[in-house]
Chains A and B, each alone.
Chain A
Amino acid sequence: MDLGLNEQQELLKNSAREFLENECPETHVREMEEDEKGYSPVLWQKMAEQGWHGLLVPEQYGGAGFDFVDQMVLVEELGRALVPGPYMSSVFGGAVPILEAGSDAQKQEFLPKIAAGELIFTLALTEPSARFDESGIQAKATVSGNDVTINGTKLFVPDAHVADYLIVAARTAKGVTLAIVPTKQDGVKTTVLQTIARDKQCEVVLNGAKGQLLGADGAGWAALAPVIQKYTVAECAYLVGLAQMDFEIAVDYAKERVQFGRPIGSFQAIQHKCADMVTDVDGSRFIMYKAAWSISAGQPAAETSIAVNMAKAWCSEATRRVVAHGQQIHGGIGFTKDYKIQLFYRRQKRAELAFGDADFHRELVAQQLGL
Chain B
Amino acid sequence: MDWSDSPEQANFRQEVRAFIQAKLPDPYKPKAGEATGEGEGFAGGWQADRKSTDPKRVATASQWATALADKGWIAPAWPKEYGGAGLSTVEQFIYNQEMAEAAAPSVGGMGVSMLGPTLIVHGSEEQKKEHLSRILSGEVAWAQGYSEPGAGSDLASLQTRAVRDGDEFVINGQKIWTSGAHFADWLFALVRTDPQAPKHRGISFMIMDIKTPGLSVRPLINMGWEHGFNETFFEDVRVPAKNLIGEENRGWYVGMTLLDFERSGIAGAVSYRRGMGEMKEFLGGKGKSFQRQDWNTTRLELADRAIETEVLFNFAFRIVSIQNRGLVPNYEASVNKTFGSELHQRLSRTQSKAWGLYANVWDRTSKYAPMGAAHIHDYVGSVPHSIFSGSNEIQRNVIATRGLGLPRG
Contacts and interface: CB of A to CB of B under 8 A. Distances in A.
Contacts of A293: 1-3
B1 A69 contact: yes
Contact of B3 (A1, A5, A279, A371): A1
B304 to A, nearest CB: 6
Chain A interface size band reads 35 or more
Given A369-B303, A371-B299, A5 B1 contact: yes
B2 A2 contact: yes
Contact of B403 (A263, A278, A297): A278
Interface residues of B, number: 51
Given A283-B314, A283-B339, 5 more contacts: A1-B317, A2-B324, A274-B406, A275-B400, A371-B302
A283 B400 contact: no
B139 interface: no
30 contacts: A1-B2, A3-B317, A263-B406, A265-B400, A267-B409, A268-B396, A268-B409, A271-B406, A274-B404, A274-B406, A275-B334, A275-B399, A276-B396, A278-B403, A278-B404, A279-B335, A282-B332, A283-B311, A283-B314, A283-B339, A286-B318, A287-B314, A289-B1, A290-B3, A293-B2, A314-B310, A363-B300, A365-B306, A369-B276, A370-B284
B111 to A, nearest CB: 29
A271 B276 CA distance: 33
Contact of A271 (B93, B303, B314, B396): B396
A310 B3 contact: no
Given A282-B315, A286-B311, A286-B318, A274 B400 contact: yes
A262 B408 CA distance: 10
A4 B320 CA distance: 11
Interface string A1-18: 111111000000000000
B357 interface: no
Interface in A256-297: 262-263, 265-268, 270-272, 274-276, 278-279, 282-283, 286-287, 289-290, 292-294, 297
A266 B403 CA distance: 14
B307 interface: yes
Given A263-B407, A282-B335, A310-B307, A4 B1 contact: yes
Contacts, number: 149
A182 B130 CA distance: 83
B280 interface: yes
Question: 3 tightest A-B contacts by CB?
Answer: A271-B400, A286-B314, A275-B399
Nearest to B319: A3
A104 B395 CA distance: 56
Nearest to A284: B311
A231 B338 CA distance: 32
Given A1-B5, A310-B307, A314-B307, A255 B406 contact: yes
A362 interface: yes
A1 B324 CA distance: 9
Contacts of A370: 280, 284
A287 B399 CA distance: 21
A321 B13 CA distance: 38
B60 interface: no
A251 B261 CA distance: 31
Contacts of B318: 3, 282, 286
Interface in A224-245: none
Nearest to A4: B321
Interface string A281-323: 0110011011011100100000000000010011000000000
B397 interface: yes
A310 B310 contact: yes
Contacts of B2: 1-2, 293, 297
Nearest to A270: B406
B315 A286 contact: yes
Interface in A75-123: none
A286 B393 contact: no
A249 interface: no
Given A275-B338, A365-B307, A366-B303, A2 B321 contact: yes
A354 B312 CA distance: 25
